[in-house]
């Protein structure tokens, strides 16, 4: 089936969690490919000053806490025009299933990674529908394709993002919207600071996402570990479950 390809030149983008990490790298990559306007969502808009200093009025700072419906609605109200929505904001709250942290960590992961993504997407979908060639990019994780017990409740939330992405794709079938799921392995950002693993850099993730938009790729595996795991996942998902199960 033919997928929608996005010419980034002149496009308007909304991205949550734009101030640091993978989100900031995506902003910079999109601008390097000609994006016209970036609605940059951040809980504290002061944290967008570096991007604003570098890119001027291309960056439109938007206060956004994805766990706060009023903040989402106020953010959406400021959006005049939208071609690409990037659901990037996320937390990594550690909790195993059999632990006293299970409930609280699951709640935190779901509030930001799942409800935040759904509520922001619903707040912006009508703006996206007004344009002819559009995209929704959801940042899941390799941990969403197989549960890693050391961060089991995070895996649960990212598996939900994977399923939401499939649901969105189905609902948006036969429209000119590309619905992309992104499945990074460990990436060198604040989120993964305590992970003792080989990590790829956020700039590589951003490059693969933007290239995926241009080429119309629905499932993006943007780093060394995810590229290797994806080929196994496609042919033998049980092997991924067994391998990821050792991350305990």
Ligand X SMILES: NC(=O)c1ccc[n+]([C@@H]2O[C@H](COP(=O)([O-])OP(=O)(O)OC[C@H]3O[C@@H](n4cnc5c(N)ncnc54)[C@H](OP(=O)(O)O)[C@@H]3O)[C@@H](O)[C@H]2O)c1
To which residue do tokens 């609902």 refer?
Answer: 171
Cβ atoms of 120 and 66 closer than 8 Å = yes
Binding segment for ligand X (CB under 6 A), chosen from 61-69, 74-82, 211-219, 238-246, is 61-69
Minimum distance from residue 246 beta carbon to ligand X (Å):
18
Considering the rule CB under 6 A, would residue 128 count as an interface residue with ligand X? no
Question: Binding string to ligand X for residues 77 to 116, with x set by CB under 6 A, is what?
Answer: -----------xxxxx-------------------x---x
Cβ atoms of 39 and 19 closer than 8 Å = no
Binding segment for ligand X (CB under 6 A), chosen from 98-106, 162-170, 184-192, 232-240, is 184-192
Considering the rule CB under 6 A, would residue 64 count as an interface residue with ligand X? yes
d(C-alpha 55, C-alpha 36), whole Å: 11
Sign of the C-alpha dihedral, residues 33, 13, 172, 130?
Answer: negative
Count CB atoms within 10 A of the CB of residue 224.
14
Nearer to ligand X, 1 or 14 (CB): 14
Decide the pairing of beta strands 12-15 and 37-42: parallel
Nearer to ligand X, 5 or 43 (CB): 43
* Interaction residues for ligand X, span 149-168 (CB under 6 A): none
Q: Nearest 5°: phi and psi at 231?
A: -70, -30
DSSP assignment letter at 79: -
Cβ atoms of 223 and 230 closer than 8 Å = no
Cβ atoms of 212 and 114 closer than 8 Å = no
Minimum distance from residue 106 beta carbon to ligand X (Å):
15
Nearer to ligand X, 34 or 192 (CB): 192
**Helix count (H) and strand count (E) of the chain?**
9, 7
Nearer to ligand X, 78 or 132 (CB): 78
Minimum distance from residue 181 beta carbon to ligand X (Å):
11
Q: Nearest 5°: phi and psi at 78?
A: -85, -10
Nearer to ligand X, 134 or 183 (CB): 183
Instruction: Please select the residue that binds ligand X; options are 6, 8, 15, 22, rule is CB under 6 A.
Output: 22
Torsion of CA 74, 80, 81, 87, to 10 degrees: -10
Minimum distance from residue 78 beta carbon to ligand X (Å):
15
Instruction: Please select the residue that binds ligand X; options are 184, 208, 220, 233, rule is CB under 6 A.
Output: 184
Q: Which two tokens stand for residue 225?
A: 């570990």
Instruction: Please select the residue that binds ligand X; options are 2, 9, 46, 190, rule is CB under 6 A.
Output: 190
Instruction: Please select the residue that binds ligand X; options are 4, 12, 13, 21, rule is CB under 6 A.
Output: 21
Q: Interface with ligand X by CB under 6 A: which residues?
A: 16-17, 19-23, 42-44, 47, 64-67, 88-92, 112, 116, 139, 141, 184, 186-187, 189-192
């Amino acid at each position: 089936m033919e997928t929608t390809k996005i010419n980034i030149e002149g496009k308007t983008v909304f991205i949550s969690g734009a101030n640091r990490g993978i989100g900031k790298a995506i902003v910079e990559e999109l601008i390097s490919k000609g994006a016209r306007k970036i609605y940059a969502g951040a809980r504290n808009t002061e944290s967008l000053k570096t991007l604003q200093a570098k890119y001027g009025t291309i960056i439109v700072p938007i206060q956004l806490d994805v766990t706060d419906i009023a903040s989402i609605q106020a953010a959406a109200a400021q959006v005049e025009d939208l071609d690409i929505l990037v659901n990037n904001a996320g937390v990594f709250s550690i909790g195993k299933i059999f632990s006293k942290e299970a409930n609280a960590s699951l709640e935190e992961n779901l509030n930001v990674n799942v409800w935040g993504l759904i509520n922001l997407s619903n707040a912006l979908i009508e703006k996206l529908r007004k344009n002819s060639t559009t995209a929704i990019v959801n940042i899941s994780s390799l941990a969403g394709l197989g549960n890693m017990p050391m961060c089991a409740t995070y895996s649960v939330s990212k598996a939900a993002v994977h399923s939401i992405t499939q649901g969105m794709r189905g609902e948006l079938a036969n429209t000119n919207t590309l619905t992309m799921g992104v499945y990074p392995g460990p990436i060198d950002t604040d989120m993964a600071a305590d992970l003792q693993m080989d990590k790829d850099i956020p700039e590589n993730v951003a490059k693969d996402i933007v290239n995926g938009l241009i080429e119309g790729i629905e499932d993006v595996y943007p780093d060394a570990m995810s590229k290797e795991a994806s080929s196994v996942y496609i042919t033998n998902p049980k092997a991924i479950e067994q391998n990821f199960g050792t991350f305990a």
